[in-house]
Each structure stands twice: as structure tokens, then as C-alpha cells.
Amino acid sequence: MRIDKLLAHAGYGTRKEVRQLIKTGAVTVDEKRVVKNNMHVNPSKEEIVVNGEIVTYEKYVYLMLHKPQGYISATVDDIERTVIDLVPPEYDHYPLAPVGRLDKDTEGLLLLTNDGKVNHALTSPKRNVVKTYVAIVDGLVTEEHIAIFASGVILDDGYKTKEATLEIIKSGAQSEVMISITEGKYHQVKRMFKTIGMQVLYLKRIRMGELQLDESLRPGEIRLVTEDEKRYLLSLK
């Protein structure tokens, strides 16, 4: 890969700014000063340094976030805090985007990546990727409701959802349930429970396909996906 392209992709500026860096002698490869913008390098075999800092290059990055409540699933917003505000500085130069959406008051698993193909694969309705949530609802959930969700429910806009799997963890005046869906309509889980006269009091996503929330991550914490998790994500492309 060309050195100017690599450094621009790694967040060291535009192509023009990177060329200026090279011109000032700030870039070395294996301790030799780079003098040509079109020099080809292999970041996996050669040590690339900019202003004394070793360049760590990955074309794509995949971050698992335990999204906390109070943040919106967007890249930028003039008023609200976004999940991108939680990204550590070492990943600032990647054009990250959330995969799918979690409501502002919903917490749990959210993947952040600059890999558009993986993002599309996980969110495309045609792929039927299962998303699993734990919810606390205001009302008594029964076997009857399991059957209703399994056959699909008609939302307030007339849309009939695909079948959903509902499991009762604890039933009572407030019930704790697990619900799995393959769609991502606006406020879908909340609207589904609204059709049976119940309000969702708490919602947490714990799984997307084979990607499961790392419960050691506290809300707001983030980590790179593991190699096994990465293999799964790449298998979707």
C-alpha cells in the first residue's frame, strides 16, 4: 500500500496533509526517512513511525460497546451525547458508525465499526440476524403472550412483525422476559409490548447473531472484539 494512503486512512490527516508530513521528514519506515509519497509499504512487516509514534494500522476495526442509557446511537448530534463520544482516543481516526440502533434509554450490546459490509450484513432485514433483549415490563406476561408474539403482532402503524420468541424469566405485576426478534423497526420491542397493553420499563440487548455482550463490560465500557468474534463478523460479508 502507498505510504500516503496508509497514513491518511490511519488518521494522520488528508492525503495533502500526509504529504506535508513526509516532506518535513516526520515519517520513517524501518528507521529510514520516507522521501516519496508513493512509496509502497507493508504495515505487517515494516515499522512505520510518524513523529516518533509507531503507526498501528488496521483497515477495519470492530469495537464492542456496552451502551449505557442516556446516549443515542448516532455518529454526531448537536444536542445529545452519542455513542461515538464513548470511543477511546486511540480509535478517533476511524470513521466509526454504530451497527443498528439502541434507543436512548436502552442499554446493552452495540457494535461500532468502519466496515460497511459487516454493518449492512448485521442490520439487513434479508439476513434475519436474531437480536435478543432482556426486558422488564409493567404487567403479567403469560403463555398466551408467547403465542401472540410467535405469530407476529400488528404495530400502531399497521405493520405486522415477523414472529418473535418470547421467554418468561419471571412473571408477576412486573415481568422479566427475554425476547428475540429478527427486525429492527423503530422502538419495535416497546411497540410490540404496547399491543398487549404493557409498558417496557427496562430494555437491554444482550446478543446480535453469534455476538454476545461481554458481561464484564460495565455500561460505557468498550473493547476490541476477540479473534473468534471477528471471524464470525467477517463470515457475514
Half-sphere exposure of 223 (CA within 13 A, CB side): 13
Q: Indicate the residue type of 114.
A: N
Whether 92 is catalytic: no
Contact of 84 with 198, CB cutoff 8 Å: no
Q: Which residues pair with 222 in a beta bridge?
A: 65
Half-sphere exposure of 120 (CA within 13 A, CB side): 4
Cα 201 to its chain centre, rounded Å, is: 23
Give the span between the Cα atoms of 5 and 18, in whole angstroms. 8
How far, CA to CA in Å, does 168 sit from each of 67, 92, 134, 143, 204?
Answer: 24, 41, 10, 8, 15
Question: 103, 115, 138, 214: which is the annotated catalytic residue?
Answer: 103
> Alpha-carbon torsion 153, 70, 82, 211, what sign?
negative
Contact of 50 with 27, CB cutoff 8 Å: yes
Residues classed as catalytic: 103
